[in-house]
């Protein structure tokens, strides 16, 4: 079905829709819709923000859309590869308009926007014409939802403090943490903070681990102290340590004092190491068992939902105690090996020797060992005791430029090629300023 005058498309259904060129090749997916408010009449829908290959987000004018049907968008094939940057006059539908409070002009009360529809008004021009709203408390229809014409309400263009995030959270509920992090990074600070503040602690912890240093400091600084401390406890210790290091010293000390003593101790220990050393990169919570544990216990530990795949690939065998720093480090058991053994077999009978890292080893040594032995995680041992483990994802995070989520593919490739990966923990990172198109 080609786009014809009167075609109505709701933003909630358009988000994530694949975008194709005229010959059927997929070029990206819809991230959001851009509208511009006018002095009179309905807001104009001027284009789509599209995620394309190479971690790039570009602008697709709706004048270049030839068809919207069956959950997909067809373009003329002319896609400007210049990175999208929101202008002050533009508003993002999903990121900013969802949950906005509006008032009915007939005096029947207030409502919250849960979705909006754009409609072609002629000559490939589009406008935001329709709202799907939920009636607010205190109105005769409180809690009910209905579809209304955009002209029936006021307040859609007005930004308000502490705007709710219920509808937006529902839209992103199925997204993975890195995708939510990307979405938050595109929002104005006040909106990103409002959305983050309404997330569950464990979800927000995962999202903060995927955000840039600047963005996560902004969000963490806006949270109440008690909740911020709870979030840090939910995060992986190494990520928590990185975040605390980026906070002002006074705020960091207050947060550490509010954390559980054991959790705070792990974070403080990691903060004492250089950022680009094994000690600074490691997690203090890998899979650890004593040699008399059974294979069934190892498999149960690997099934933990909060355990990243890279860490779940290997279990470290030590003498008690099994909390870091542990007793004597004995070796490792690979998950694949454990899967081939009877559940009642003791893990001490299948130990493999993997060369451990020292806490002071630099990122060059870490990458060489991971590559040499085709591993996703390495033990970190100090004076014969296991103190943590470094996983490949933590290494990649420190090899990539700090703005790698927003930088284009060529900039990331250039940064990695130019970085000198050696064993010096005090090596200076090369500039990773984002490459921009003219």
- The predicted model scores a pTM of 0.74
At how many degrees (to 10) do helices 249-258 and 261-271 cross? Answer: 140
pLDDT per residue as tens digits for the range 316-331: 999 999 999 999 999 9
* CATH assignment at residue 356: 3.10.580.10
- Write b or e for each residue in 323-362: b if 16 or more Cβ atoms lie within 10 A of its Cβ, otherwise e: ebbbeebbbbbebebbeebeeeeebeebbeebebbebbbb
Domain edge (last residue) among 48, 73, 92: 92
Same-domain pairing of 359 and 295? yes
- Asked if residue 135 belongs to a domain, the reply is no
**How many CA atoms lie less than 13 Å away from 429 in the CB half-sphere?**
14
Q: What is the structure's pLDDT at 188?
A: 85
**Containing structural domain, residue 298:** 287-396
pLDDT per residue as tens digits for the range 233-262: 999 889 999 999 999 999 999 999 999 999
**The total number of structural domains that make up the chain:** 3
Contact 70, 83 (CB under 8 A): no
- Asked if residue 438 belongs to a domain, the reply is no
* CATH assignment at residue 63: 2.30.30.240
What Å distances lie between residue 123 and 20, 60, 128, 133, 378, CA to CA? 21, 16, 15, 29, 60
Domain edge (last residue) among 219, 242, 272: 272
DSSP secondary structure, 210-256, as one string? HS-HHHHHHHHHHS-HHHHHHHHHHS-HHHHHHHHHHS-HHHHHHHH
| 277 Cα distance to chain centroid | 24
Fill in the DSSP letter of residue 321. Answer: P
Same-domain pairing of 267 and 314? no
* CATH assignment at residue 244: 1.25.60.10
Token readout for 422 is: 């050696």
Taking phi over 0 as left and psi of -120 to 50 as alpha, with beta for the rest, 265 belongs to: alpha
Q: Which are the contacts of 213, defined by CB distance < 8 A and separation ≥ 6?
A: 242, 243, 246, 402
Burial of 130 (0-12, 13-18, 19+ CB in 10 A): buried
Q: What is the structure's pLDDT at 418?
A: 56
- Asked if residue 3 belongs to a domain, the reply is no
Alpha-carbon Rg of the chain, whole angstroms? 26
- Asked if residue 376 belongs to a domain, the reply is yes
Q: What is the structure's pLDDT at 409?
A: 54
Contact 198, 165 (CB under 8 A): yes
Q: What is the structure's pLDDT at 255?
A: 95
Q: What is the structure's pLDDT at 187?
A: 86
Same-domain pairing of 267 and 294? no
Task: Identify the segments of the chain with pLDDT beneath 70.
Answer: 1-6, 54, 401-438
Instruction: Give dist(CA 218, CA 54) in Å, integer.
Output: 27
Same-domain pairing of 192 and 258? yes
- The pLDDT > 90 percentage for the chain reads 64
Q: What is the structure's pLDDT at 265?
A: 92
Q: What is the structure's pLDDT at 369?
A: 94
- Asked if residue 426 belongs to a domain, the reply is no
Q: What is the structure's pLDDT at 410?
A: 54
């Amino acid at each position: 079905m080609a786009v014809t005058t009167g075609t109505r498309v709701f933003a909630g259904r358009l988000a994530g829709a694949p975008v194709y060129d005229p010959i059927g090749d997929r070029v990206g997916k819809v991230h959001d819709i851009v509208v511009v408010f006018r002095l009179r009449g309905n807001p104009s829908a001027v284009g789509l923000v599209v995620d394309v290959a190479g971690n790039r987000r570009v602008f697709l004018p709706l004048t270049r859309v030839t068809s919207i049907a069956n959950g997909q968008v067809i373009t003329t094939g002319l896609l400007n590869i210049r990175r999208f940057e929101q202008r002050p006059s533009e508003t993002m539908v999903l990121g900013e308009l969802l949950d906005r409070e509006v008032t009915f002009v007939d005096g029947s009360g207030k409502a919250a926007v849960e979705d909006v529809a754009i409609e072609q008004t002629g000559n490939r021009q589009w406008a935001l014409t329709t709202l799907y709203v939920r009636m607010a408390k205190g109105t005769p229809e409180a809690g009910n939802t209905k579809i209304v014409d955009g002209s029936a309400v006021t307040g859609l263009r007005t930004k308000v403090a502490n705007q709710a995030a219920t509808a937006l959270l529902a839209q992103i509920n199925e997204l993975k943490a890195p995708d939510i992090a990307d979405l938050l990074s595109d929002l104005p600070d006040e909106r990103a903070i409002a959305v983050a503040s309404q997330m569950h602690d464990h979800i927000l912890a995962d999202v903060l681990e995927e955000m840039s240093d600047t963005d996560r400091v902004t969000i963490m600084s806006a949270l109440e102290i008690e909740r911020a401390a709870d979030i840090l406890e939910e995060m992986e210790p190494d990520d928590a340590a990185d975040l605390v290091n980026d906070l002002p010293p006074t705020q960091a000390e207050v947060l550490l004092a509010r954390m559980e003593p054991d959790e705070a101790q792990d974070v403080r220990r990691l903060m004492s190491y250089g950022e680009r050393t094994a000690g600074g990169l490691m997690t203090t919570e890998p899979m650890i068992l004593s040699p008399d544990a059974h294979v069934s216990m190892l498999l149960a530990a690997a099934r933990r939902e909060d355990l990243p795949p890279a860490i779940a690939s290997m279990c470290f065998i030590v003498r008690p105690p099994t909390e870091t720093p542990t007793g004597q480090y004995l070796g490792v058991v690979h998950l694949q090996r454990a899967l081939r053994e009877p559940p009642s077999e003791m893990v001490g009978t299948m130990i493999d020797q993997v060369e451990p890292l020292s806490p002071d080893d630099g990122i060059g040594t870490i990458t060489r060992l991971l590559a040499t032995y085709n591993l996703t995680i390495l033990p970190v041992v100090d004076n014969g005791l296991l103190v943590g483990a470094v996983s490949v994802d933590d290494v990649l995070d420190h090899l990539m430029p700090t703005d790698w989520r927003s930088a284009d593919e060529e900039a990331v490739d250039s940064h990695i090629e130019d970085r000198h990966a050696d064993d010096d923990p005090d090596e200076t990172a090369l500039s990773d300023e984002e490459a921009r198109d003219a």
